[in-house]
Amino acid sequence: MYYVVTGAAGFIGSNLVKALNERGENNIIAVDNLEHADKFKNLTDCNIADYMDKKEFIDHLGEGYFDGLLMAVMHQGACSDTMETDGRYMMENNYRYSLDLLNYCQSEEIPLLYASSASVYGAGKVFKEGREYEAPLNVYAYSKFLFDQVVLRRWDKRSAQIVGLRYFNVYGAREAHKGRMASVAFHFFNQYRAEGCVKLFEGCDGYANGEQLRDFVSVEDVVKANMYFLEHPGKSGIFNLGTGKAQSFNDVAVAAVNTLRAADGKSSLSLAQLQQQGLISYIPFPEQLRGKYQSHTQADIGALRTAGYAEPFLTVEQGVARYVNYLLSSSA
C-alpha cells in the first residue's frame, strides 16, 4: 500500500514526504511537475517508491492503475502564485486537479488531506471557517475557495476522511525554489546576507511601516497538523492552520536579523536600534498589490482545537530563529 503526496517536490509536500519517512513510511508515490527542475533537490534526502509527473498520475487514476493500492492522498500540488493572471491555467491546475482527486478518493474510500488557503478570506477581518467570512481577492484564492465549496456541498455523502487545511503564512525549510513567492523570512535572510540590511514594505491600510500583521506559521507545525489528521482517519473537516496569533513583518525581520547577528557573535538589538542603524529599512508599498493585499490575518483555530489537535505552535521568534539556523547550516 502506498501514500501519495502531490506537489511532493515543493515546499510543504517535500516536508510531508520527509515526515512520512521519519515515521518509517517509504512506500510513497511522489507526484509533481518538474518543468522547473531545481525542485528535485527537496527530495534528495527523502525515500520514495516512485516519482510521477502530475499528468501521468491523473491518467493512471482514470485507468484504475492505483485501485486498491493507496492508503491516503496528501494533496499539496498547486500553483501558489497569487499574482498569476491566467485564470484558465489556475482553475485547471488548482481546482480541476483537486476535483479529480476528490472524485477518485471518494470512489475508492481513501482519505484525502489537501491544502486549502487562508487567502479565501480576502480582506476580511474575521478568519473563521464560515461562508460569511470568505471573499477571495485573486484567482488563486478563488480556486481554493471553489474547491472548498465543492467539498462542503458533498459533505454529508462522503465515504472517507476529507481534511482541508487553510494554511496561513507558512515559512521554513525547503522553500528556496519558490523564488519571489518564498516567505519573507527566507527573503530577509538572503537580503541581510547580501546587503547587510533588510527592506520591508512601508505601511498601508492604516498600519505603520512594517507593522502589517500576519499569522506566520512554521512548516514544522504544518507538518505536525497534517500528521495528526493522517493518524486520526475518523476526523474530517476544513480547518484553519495558523498559530492563532498575528505578528508583524517587523517581528519577522527582528528575529531573522538578530539570529544572524548571534551567528556572527553580535548582540541582539531592538527594532528601534535596528532601524536607527539602517539594518531595517522600508520601501514604497507596491501599487500592483493595493486592493489585493491582506494587511492583517489571524487564524481562528477553535475548530482545529475542537478536532483534538492540542500541540503548541512556534512563535515567530522561535520559528524564524530555528529556520535561519537551518539556512545557515545548509549554506555552510
> Looking at the annotation, which residues are catalytic?
140, 178
283: phi then psi, degrees, rounded to nearest 5: -120, 155
- Position of cell 493572471? 85
| Nine cell digits for residue 132 | 460569511
Query: Using the 8-state DSSP alphabet, how is residue 17 labeled?
Result: H
240 forms beta bridges with: 166
Say how many C-beta atoms besides its own lie within 10 A of residue 125's C-beta: 9
Contact between 279 and 250 (Cβ < 8 Å): no
E strands along the chain, which residues? 2-6, 28-32, 50-53, 70-75, 112-117, 162-167, 169-171, 198-201, 213-214, 216-218, 237-241, 247-248, 280-283
- Position of cell 485501485? 67
Name the burial class of residue 207, with classes exposed (0-12), middle (13-18) and buried (19+) by CB atoms within 10 angstroms of its CB: middle
Question: What is the end-to-end Cα distance of the chain in Å, rounded?
Answer: 39
Contact between 102 and 150 (Cβ < 8 Å): yes
Per-position DSSP letters for 168-199, written without gaps between them: -EEE-SS-GGGGGGS-HHHHHHHHHHHHSSEE
217: phi then psi, degrees, rounded to nearest 5: -125, 130
CA distance 12 to 220: 9
CA distance 5 to 48: 10
